[in-house]
Amino acid sequence: MTIQLDKIWEDYGLGTLEQKLEELFPSSAPDLQGLLQRLLRGDILGCISDTLKMIVDGFIADLSSVKQIFIWVLVLGIIAALLSHFIEIFDNHQIADIGFYFTYLLMIVILMKCFLEAAGVASTAMEQIVAFIEVFIPAYFLSIGVAQGSLTASAGYQILIFIIYIVENILLKLVLPLIYSYVLLSVVNGLWIEERLTLLVEGLEKGIRFLLKTLLGTVIGISALQSMITPAMDSVNAGVLQKLIGAIPGVGDAADGVMETVVGSAVIIKNSLGIVLLLLLIGMAAAPLLQILVTAILLKAAAGLLGVVSDKRITGCTNKVGSGSELLFKTVGTALLLFLVTISIAAYTTNRGF
């Protein structure tokens, strides 16, 4: 069975899609045609290699900001250690307190710089994921409609629109501000020796984690339920049509064979587009995720090292800002997983027995 790439490019409007991707990502537009060509030839390893190259190139491009964060964390550790020992020289309690607050304010500036850098990366990454999905899903669900049927394509499209709404209105507009609040409360908490906001900070962290898990579980459940119903309905309709065509005297068998070939080709195209979509999503989101993860690891490591020489409030605050970066990582990861799982379920359940 030969599938012509030029024909696919024209029928599914992939040329327009590629132009839109170049407009969205002028400096790092993905090679859509190259990936699809490799997949249709069965070169899966080549596609994975291209995706890994995209991830590495994106991470290297952001390496300067990671180095900057590492330098700031190193400066934080040195300053905290020096000032902690300097404060011990003074017997006067008031001077020691002034020295601590001076150190703490300096530390807040450095920590917030690191966190705001990671938060900006997280926000941009989720916006780019949504923009990419909005551009790609019409072509992909057109391929699902051809391969499986209009009911499945329509239901899958509605679910992805629902996920876009979740990412834009819950993750970006609710969860991200909650993470900002979590970090700010953690910073303020260190101003008191009693750490009066500890329970509030811990409750907020648990609430954010619970919300992310709930969103992921809800979307997976809806996608799984939809995949049990609409593909089966489309298969029944297609089966009835195929039997009616096969019953036509003289040309029934030939028409039945042609229909099998057409449907098989449509399934291959649909699966190829689905894999391209998944690979490009992973390739786009992996570099920002790695950058946020490295920031969280550096801040957690700094907290561990500062614990040896610094006040426990400085250590605790650094650790909480590291936890805030970890929450950013989980938020972007959840946004990515919502799309990956939904698209994977749609691709797996619409193969029509092939």
pLDDT of residue 255: 47
Q: Residue 48 is inside which H or E element, if any?
A: helix 44-61
For residue 60, the tally of other CB atoms under 10 A from its CB is 11
pLDDT of residue 179: 94
39, pLDDT greater than 60: yes
Pick from 15, 342, 275, 281: nearest CA to 128: 281
Highest mean pLDDT among 145-159, 259-273, 282-296: 282-296
pLDDT of residue 219: 86
How many CA atoms does the CB half-sphere of 203 hold within 13 Å?
4
Q: Quick one: DSSP state of residue 43?
A: -
pLDDT of residue 232: 59
Supply 145's token pair: 């409609």
